[in-house]
Amino acid sequence: GCILDGKLYPFGEIARTDNCFRCSCSQQAMLCCSLFHTPIGYDKENCKVVFNKKSCDYDVVQKSDPSKECLVYSRV
């Protein structure tokens, strides 16, 4: 298998690792892609970015009230 962040994964396709990556594990290498997109276009003065490990994505929430989401214009 392959080891990523101290955890052993079996050879083959891994749909989702503990750290929100999709990987392919072979005897030659382990190739991974992130399952999340980083927000870049949002109100940076009034909002903050928080990683949501359950959904494997970033939430953009109001600094004054984190229970309220902010509008995101673009992600990369």
CATH level 2 (architecture), domain 39-75: Single Sheet (2.20)
Place of tokens 């902010």: 70
**pLDDT value of position 76:** 87
Please report, for the chain, the start and end positions of each structural domain, with discontinuous segments joined by +: 2-34, 39-75
Q: Which of 72, 74, 51, 70 is nearest to 61 (CA)?
A: 70
**Nearest residue to 37 via CA among 58, 51, 64:** 58
Residue 7: what pLDDT? Answer: 93
- Those residues of the chain that have pLDDT short of 50 are none
